[in-house]
Structure 1
Amino acid sequence: MFSFCRLFTILLVAFRYRLDELVLSSIRHPWASRLLRLVRLGRAPTLPRGVRLRLALESLGPIFVKFGQVLSTRRDLIPLDIAEQLALLQDRVPPFPSEVAAATIEKALGAPPQQLFKQFDMQPIASASIAQVHFAQLHDGREVAVKVLRPGMHEVIFKDLRLMRAIAGLVERLGADGRRLKPREVVAEFDKYLNDELDLIREASNCSQLRRNFSMEKERAELLIVPEVIWEYCASSVFTMERMKGIPVNQIDRLRAANVDMKDLARKGVEIFFTQVFTDGFFHADMHPGNIYVSDAPETLGRYIALDFGIVGSLSEFDKNYLAQNFLAFFRRDYRRVAQLHIESGWVPPQTREEELEGAVRAVCEPYFDRPLSEISLGQVLLRLFQTSRRFNVEIQPQLVLLQKTLLNVEGMGRDLDPELDLWDTAKPYLEKWMYQRIGPSGLYQRLRQEAGQWAQILPQLPRLVHANLDRPDTRQALNQEIKLLRQSQQQTNKLLTVLCAVLAVALGVAIWALVGR
């Protein structure tokens, strides 16, 4: 059973911020309307509903703050005004005692930090709902950042998640509107995110993968810097990485003072995003300004620096092809193709009428093309498409929702750096080049190279496999039957040819006799 004291605290906070009014106003039912009028007597809310929900979650603590952050990504399920307020939630959490952090490090790595490191700053540099970060120096002189999991998180999360599941089940039973919001699905998604973030080894592996992706080619290495993972000092509760120095991407004045080219920086941000999504199928999915820095060192000036790898997204080859073709169809205003892609993907029922879906997509996209390019938001177009797709029973894929949330972050960040950024114009050449590489000669060559290893193993075995297959009793029996049928067919054909030859001979003889007789 969940804690009734915790439930009572939640009810008090809900009453304080008038969340009862928010819930009742969202239910379309006569009794809900009458009850709403009753609870509003003398207590009309003074703050917008999104602001009240954000303040309530901040009051309830770090787990509910994290839940609000995850909920803000589900803009296909919740109203836009609430989603925008929840996106403002920040992990403003007091640090836990440094002695506790040191004890966690000692338990995880087998020695106290004073022994493991040449120098360890007991004062944390940053503190969030899940972990806090300390700077340190290795014995070989390298500067590192040590991320330490907040103690007792598993127990706290287990209790709060149990309570959230109970509340989600209650909301679902309220009616069709409650079921449409899919509260239990949202809580399950939150559970997955939290469990991923609570395992710092998983975050370290995400960091290592992203670093490898952007280190393979010089051109890509000049776009993004990812810290090196110090695996000897990593555990499920401790993550040690190379220390990164730079300027937070939202500190525009400092970036200009460092002579960073803002337009180029905005363009590179878009290129990094599309490279992660379409080339790698693996992308940093928490790209808010607190996690993205810009290098101000002379040798790497203007390069992005990625931090915090707890939430990443991944896409299959099918997802990548589907998304790329959709984006290109948008750019070309080919709304029929967009509708066809939705139907071909199986994300809408097969009986969906193509022309109806095309009309709905046109109604979403066409108004944006008539605006100045600086006012067009690709993220908002996708959001409107998600909302429109409800009437066609489109199944929104979780990985695409995460992608849409990240795209909104990237677009907002890019517009802050360069208000004239044209995301459409920046992305279109990249996507066209990517599609050509996928379906053109170079794409065929790359796929042949990928399969060459398998072919090298299979080709030498083909004669033996063919012989073994032909030598099987059932195969021999089938071949004998086929040979028997072929012989019968040949005999019939020979008879037919004999008759035809006789007929032709007779006809030829008659023709010659007729000619001679004349």
Structure 2
Amino acid sequence: MINNFFFLLKIIRIFKAHDILRLIGQNVRYRIIYTIITQLLSIGVSKNKELMNDSDGVRVAKALNELGPSFVKLGQLISTRPDIVGNTIADDLSILRDNLPPFSKDIAIKIVESEFGTTIDRVFTDFSEPIAAASIAQVHFAKINNNGIETEVAVKILRPQIEKIIEQEMSRLEWLTSFMENFKEFERLRPNSIIKKAKEVIKFELDLRYEAAAASELRENTQLDGSFYVPLVYWEKITQKILTMEKINGIPADKIEKLNENNYDIKKSAENLIVNFLRQSIRDGYFHADLHQGNLFLNKNGNLLAVDFGIMGRLDKKNRSYLAEIIYGFIKQDYYLIAKIHQEAGLIDKSQSTEDFSQALRSIGEPIINQKAKNISMGNVLIQLFDITEQFNMFLQPQLLLLQKTMITVEGVARKLDPEINFWEVSKPEIETWLKDELGIKNRLKQTQETLQSIARKMPDIPDFISRADQAFNIITEGNSDNTPQKTNRKYFIIGGMVLISSLALIISLI
């Protein structure tokens, strides 16, 4: 309890310095009591004048950064939920880039030696000083012997004692959110559910084998997409605390002047970024959900090189189709189509009028038709769409909200590379190709094959199945004196049905 009190005291004093107590106080019912308590607990703390020109969201982000790694991760998670905190604060929280001072090279070496049970020179050579540091881990460059070939690698190492630190902070955050749940003012924020989700996210980040698996899956999905490169994972150099990947060579996407000085095709890179994001999200249903400039590098051909696979998004087939058809509907200005898609997918209440929903969608699409490309944002269109769907009693899945947040980030990076880029024009060929493939006869047959194969896998042994079906039929027709022909016919019917299903599956598999 004493530790929890000092934890709360620390939060209040940091929030006072960042002028966040005032924001919270605006929404508290018993404002006088709140003000008295917080002022008493923050005696001696003055507001940081350097922050006075910052927006509310930016000040919140800076306060979370000061509070520790769990708060940083919490802020990053909240930034993907504009439905809870609003679009402005969600956008401002996206500045949380997780930059912290590094721990020493000597400590990193001790961690490597402990994990692999041998000396550093038997695992890595030319092990560098830290080149990047975040709240959970930091990165070093090194070399490994890869089948007799000296290979440059990037080595990510968890911070010492980070698991213990995170566990303590999360325990205190759970106590705090349980306390907050007692006040109606915080009900809409659902603080307990946010902390629960944060714990799930951080659990994966504290085991670098999960990030290795994420990178490996994304690399497998994109290996034929020449314009997007995921570095190779070296599994023999992976542990829970250490991730070893191929070192990439490129210029960071935020170094615009350097890219121009070296004649990099940054306009092509901007197009590649949008195209590859759409491929990952719509074609594969598995996308890099943290594509800010710090995680992207460019090569001379305009190709993208990605790093940091700690935050990934996944979309099921239904949501992928939903996203593709919505984007295509806006491209074609077919608002009734978009409304029908929502209705057929069961995303709007049946009591709602499709025509009214179509009209609401038109209010989003029409204002952007004649605007310049640089003023049109698909991410903002999705924000407006989600706002409208709320009015029509539509429930949005968290995956779509993460996708929306990533799309805004992707658009922002693309526009910094090419301010005149037209998201719609770049998207259209990719969307049309996917819809053509997805709705084409070959894919329909493939889906039918998968369904039939699923049925076949679930069927019991055929003789046993026929015997049981025969017994069931006997019960149904019991009392019918003249059922001999039926007995014969039903067996032929059962066997014939089995043969038909098997034959269909075989034929379709050959197409």
Q: What's the TM-score, normalizing by structure 1?
A: 0.83
Tell me: CA distance 1:10–1:263, structure 2 relative to 1, closer, same or farther (3 Å).
same
Is the contact between residue 172 and residue 179 of structure 1 (CA under 8 Å) also seen in structure 2?
Answer: yes
Q: Deviations over 1:355-408 (max 9, x none)?
A: 443333333333222422321100011112223333334322111111111111
How far 1:455 moved relative to its partner? 9.0
Is the contact between residue 21 and residue 39 of structure 1 (CA under 8 Å) also seen in structure 2?
Answer: no
- In our comparison, the structure showing a higher alpha carbon Rg is 1
Of the candidates 161, 170, 178, which is equivalent to residue 170 of structure 2?
Answer: 161
Tell me: CA distance 1:280–1:57, structure 2 relative to 1, closer, same or farther (3 Å).
same
Residue 135 (str. 1) matches residue 141 (str. 2) = yes
Is the contact between residue 313 and residue 402 of structure 1 (CA under 8 Å) also seen in structure 2?
Answer: yes
The one-letter code sitting in structure 2 at the alignment partner of 1:331 is: I
Match in the other structure for 2:432: 432
Of the candidates 192, 214, 223, which is equivalent to residue 200 of structure 2?
Answer: 192
Match in the other structure for 2:81: 74
Match in the other structure for 2:234: 230
Match in the other structure for 1:180: 188
Q: Deviations over 1:420-467 (max 9, x none)?
A: 1111121122112211111112323544676797799899976x4664
Structure 2 counterpart SS, 1:207: helix
| Range moving further from structure 2, 254-263 or 147-156 | 254-263
Tell me: CA distance 1:115–1:142, structure 2 relative to 1, closer, same or farther (3 Å).
same
Of the candidates 235, 248, 252, which is equivalent to residue 252 of structure 2?
Answer: 248
Match in the other structure for 1:107: 114
Which blocks of at least 5 consecutive residues in structure 1 are unaligned?
489-518
The one-letter code sitting in structure 1 at the alignment partner of 2:187 is: R
Tell me: CA distance 1:473–1:461, structure 2 relative to 1, closer, same or farther (3 Å).
closer
Q: Could you tell me how far apart the structure 2 residues matched to 1:214 and 1:366 are?
A: 35
How far 1:33 moved relative to its partner? 9.0
Residue 484 (str. 1) matches residue 482 (str. 2) = yes
Q: Deviations over 1:11-46 (max 9, x none)?
A: 11112222111112245x5x5499779999x98994
Of the candidates 246, 249, 270, which is equivalent to residue 266 of structure 1?
Answer: 270
How far 1:110 moved relative to its partner? 2.0
How far 1:314 moved relative to its partner? 1.0
Q: Deviations over 1:465-488 (max 9, x none)?
A: 664345x43434546656737999
Q: Could you tell me how far apart the structure 2 residues matched to 1:387 and 1:355 are?
A: 18
Match in the other structure for 1:16: 17
Match in the other structure for 1:202: 210
The sequence identity of aligned pairs, in percent, is 33
| Range moving further from structure 2, 181-190 or 8-17 | 181-190
Q: Could you tell me how far apart the structure 2 residues matched to 1:456 and 1:18 are?
A: 64
Structure 1 counterpart SS, 2:84: coil
Tell me: CA distance 1:149–1:263, structure 2 relative to 1, closer, same or farther (3 Å).
same
Q: Could you tell me how far apart the structure 2 residues matched to 1:237 and 1:295 are?
A: 30
How far 1:273 moved relative to its partner? 0.6
Match in the other structure for 1:378: 378
Match in the other structure for 2:42: none
The one-letter code sitting in structure 1 at the alignment partner of 2:471 is: P
Is the contact between residue 379 and residue 404 of structure 2 (CA under 8 Å) also seen in structure 1?
Answer: yes
Q: Could you tell me how far apart the structure 2 residues matched to 1:165 and 1:283 are?
A: 30
Alignment of 1:423-502 (within 5 A): 423-447=423-447, 464=463, 467-469=466-468, 472-478=470-476, 484=482
Alignment of 1:286-297 (within 5 A): 286-296=290-300
Q: Cα RMSD over matched residues?
A: 3.2
Structure 2 counterpart SS, 1:125: strand
Report how many residues are paired. 473
Structure 2 counterpart SS, 1:137: strand
| Range moving further from structure 2, 231-240 or 14-23 | 14-23
| Range moving further from structure 2, 10-19 or 331-340 | 331-340
Q: Could you tell me how far apart the structure 2 residues matched to 1:37 and 1:422 are?
A: 53
Match in the other structure for 2:501: none
Q: Could you tell me how far apart the structure 1 residues matched to 2:190 and 2:376 are?
A: 30
Alignment of 1:24-423 (within 5 A): 24-27=25-28, 31-32=30-31, 46-47=52-53, 48-121=55-128, 123-139=129-145, 140-175=149-184, 177-215=185-223, 217=224, 220=225, 222-296=226-300, 301-423=301-423
| Range moving further from structure 2, 307-316 or 96-105 | 96-105
Residue 7 (str. 1) matches residue 19 (str. 2) = no
Is the contact between residue 326 and residue 338 of structure 1 (CA under 8 Å) also seen in structure 2?
Answer: yes
How far 1:127 moved relative to its partner? 0.6
The one-letter code sitting in structure 1 at the alignment partner of 2:61 is: R
Q: Could you tell me how far apart the structure 1 residues matched to 2:244 and 2:411 are?
A: 30
The one-letter code sitting in structure 1 at the alignment partner of 2:378 is: L
Is the contact between residue 25 and residue 36 of structure 1 (CA under 8 Å) also seen in structure 2?
Answer: no
Structure 2 counterpart SS, 1:141: strand
Q: Could you tell me how far apart the structure 2 residues matched to 1:51 and 1:413 are?
A: 19
Which blocks of at least 5 consecutive residues in structure 2 are unaligned?
40-45, 487-511
Q: Could you tell me how far apart the structure 1 residues matched to 2:355 and 2:34 are?
A: 43
Q: Could you tell me how far apart the structure 1 residues matched to 2:271 and 2:107 are?
A: 43
Tell me: CA distance 1:466–1:74, structure 2 relative to 1, closer, same or farther (3 Å).
closer
Is the contact between residue 459 and residue 465 of structure 2 (CA under 8 Å) also seen in structure 1?
Answer: no
The one-letter code sitting in structure 2 at the alignment partner of 1:429 is: P
Q: Could you tell me how far apart the structure 1 residues matched to 2:403 and 2:222 are?
A: 19
Is the contact between residue 104 and residue 130 of structure 2 (CA under 8 Å) also seen in structure 1?
Answer: no
